[in-house]
Every structure is written in C-alpha cells, then in structure tokens.
Amino acid sequence: MKFYFPDSQDLVSPTYDFIHDEYSPFRVRQRDDLYAHEVLDERPYDGMLVSKAIVDGSVRGSGKYSEAQRNRLYRLGVQRFFRLPDNVVTLGDCGAFNYVDEEEPPYTVEEVLDFYVGCGFRAGVSVDHVILAYDRNAVEATADPEWKRRQAVSLRFGEKFLDASRSYENSVFQPVGAAQGWSPASYARSVAELQEMGYQRIALGGMVPLKTQDILDCLNEIDAVRLDTTEFHLLGVTRVDSMDEFALHGVTSFDSTSPFRQAFMDDRKNYHTEKTAYVAIRVPQVDGNPALKRAILAGKVSGRDALGVERETLDALRGLDAGTRTVEEALKALAEYEMVSRSKKSYIDQYARTLGEAPWRNCSCSLCGEHGIEIIIFRGTERNKRRGFHNLSVLERKMRTLQYR
C-alpha cells in the first residue's frame, strides 16, 4: 500500500528562529525551504500527488504556484523540482474539485497530458468530473440525470485520455483511469468500462465524504467486475485502520492531506501518535490575534501586559521541556494567556493531558528530536507545518505496522 501526499507548496524554513519568531534576512523560499521528505529522517510518504489546478490555476482562480515556480516545475520536471529521492514516486491529477461547479472540465486531454508527460510524472489520472452525491440504493433508472451525465463525461475523457497517452511511445508514463459514481453499482459499472478500454490502474474519485462502510460496499460491488491485474487508488481517502481490508479488494494506493491539515485545522487532534492524538498548545502571537488586537486598540487590554503574558507562557513551556518549570506552572501561564487573549474556548483540561504525557519526548521522528516542545505549540506556520510533517511520519509508521501485523 502506497501513501501519496498531495502538494500544496508546503515547506518549512530550516533557519527559522523560534525564540524570536523571525526568518533569516537571507532566506530565499524556493532555494532554502524544505519539504517533508527533506526534514524527516524517515520517509513520510511513498509518493507525491500534484494537481494541474494547483500549478496552473483553474476557473476558481490562480493556483498555489507563482509564475516563476510554475516555469521552474516545467523546466526541471517534477522529480528535480521537489528534490525527490528515487524511491518517492509521483502522480498527477487535474484537481477536479476546483472545477466542480462547471458544466465541463476546463482542460483538454492534450493539455493534461502535456502537463503530466512534460513534467515527468510516473503516472497521471484521466480528466474527470466529480459527482457530489451518494445513494447506495439508487438504480440506473431513477438516478439523477446530472449524476449520469458527469459519469459519462468522465468516461468519455477517460477513453480519449488513454488513446492519446499511447502516442507517447518512449514514455514510462502510466495512464490512470478515473472512476466516478454515486452508488456501489454505478462505481462498478464505471470500473468495468475503464477496464474494457484498457486501464490497469484506476483511481476511485468522489469518495472523500463517504463512510468507511460505504467505501467497502463499493469495493465489494466492484469485486464482481475487477480483473486480477487491476489496481485501485483512493483519491483523498485516509482510513488507515481499514487499509488492510481495502487492500483485499485491489486498493494499492491512496492520497490525503488530512493528517497534515489536522495539525492546525482540527479542534483537538493536532499532534498524532501511533495510538492516539493530542491537542496542540495554543499560544497565538499577540499581533496575530484579531480579537486581542481589537481589545488593545479599544483600550480594554494593555498591549504591554499582553506581550508580557505571552512571553511568560512561552518561557514556562520551554522551562517545562528543560526541566526547570512544572506542568502546574505552565498550565497557570496558559490559563492567564487564555484570559488575556479573550479565547472563546478553554483548552486547559486538554493541555494538562498533553503536557503531562509529553508525547514529543517519546517520538522517534527527527523533527520532535530537534525542536522538542516547539513542535506541539500551535503558533504560526513554521511550527504548525512541522507538526503536520510529524503527523505524516506517524501515518507512514502506522501503515507499515498494519501491513505487517
């Protein structure tokens, strides 16, 4: 089972100063900043997935890449641009959620293939159109006409994509068919048609909102038509505890940003371990807290006092990690900062568990070893992304454990 991490230009600066919260004046982001596979000693993923919509933009607006970055990707190719080791493979896709509201996908087959093959991707997913619905009991006769139309669009593009990819005779590129559906039966029908076209690898799309049992229902139905040589990729699905079961149905890879994004998007599960998850310690910068800034400007809070409490909170946390301060002292400082910063919600009870168990001390990843308690402080992109990278390394370890149990 291979895990692909979707790119969104997430890097960290190796020279970032955590004490003063500032970057080096000599930093050049693309040259100096590092990806997860460059800052972790262990490989955090088996592959990277890159969407054309992220690179080139879509009808929803420009992508995540500047013009200089986009030109550099096309010039160097995906392997050199991301400085990937040989054992990290690449997969391209169109980023169908970026044009989900459109009548038709905004790309031609030729444009997409030029992107995939021109950038040197090992594999690429055919142009597809997401179906934002699921009804396990829906039959062909009663299915929404828009669902059927979108499936037909995906299959039509899939056939053209496979035919066009055959013209790249000297390429090692592998075409991946995109299957869209709204029920187990419709997914099976899409897979059957893609196999008949000649696809040996198929990406199952639109399953992100589905429950695990729904995915298994679809895979069970697909089993009736699946060829022994067909491999499946789950687009955007992270259900690690079910991956062994998914593998029995031909799933060999998946991609997701969920472990990374939970580091700074989830309310509670910010720092992962192989058995559980912890709340990160929220110490937002005074000048980055809109509610606190408004209170300071209104004269309700002293800016000097707020900065003093912020500094004391960070000192208490670092002292705890160094063995010179206690958990109780750190919690007292955090409670005071919550009050001063006018937090809408208190996390003190969760902080007591996080600080009491200190999971970063038992982590084998190189980031936790290097940064200590800084990795679990919820504060700015440099700490938050490092915590996300840590979560990726935990996911990879969990996958290996599950596969060999």
Catalytic residue among 255, 287, 305, 349: 255
Q: What is the DSSP string of 89-147?
A: EEEEE--GGGGTTSSS-SS-HHHHHHHHHHHT-SEEEPP--------TT--TTTS-HHH
CA dist., res. 231 & res. 219, Å (int) = 12
**DSSP state letter for 300:** S
Catalytic residue among 33, 93, 128, 321: 93
- C-alpha to C-alpha distance for 101 and 59, rounded to whole angstroms: 9
Give the CA angle between residues 198, 199, 200 to the nearest 5°.
115
Q: Is residue 255 among the annotated active site residues?
A: yes
CA dist 106 and 61 (Å) reads 12
State the Cα–Cα distance between residues 350 and 114, nearest whole angstrom: 50
The token pair that represents 93 in the structure block: 């896709």
Please count the residues of the chain.
405
Is 223 an annotated catalytic residue? no
Q: Which of 149, 221, 140, 223 is nearest to 180 (CA)?
A: 149
Q: Please give the Cα distance from 110 to 73 (Å, whole number).
A: 18
Catalytic positions: 93, 255
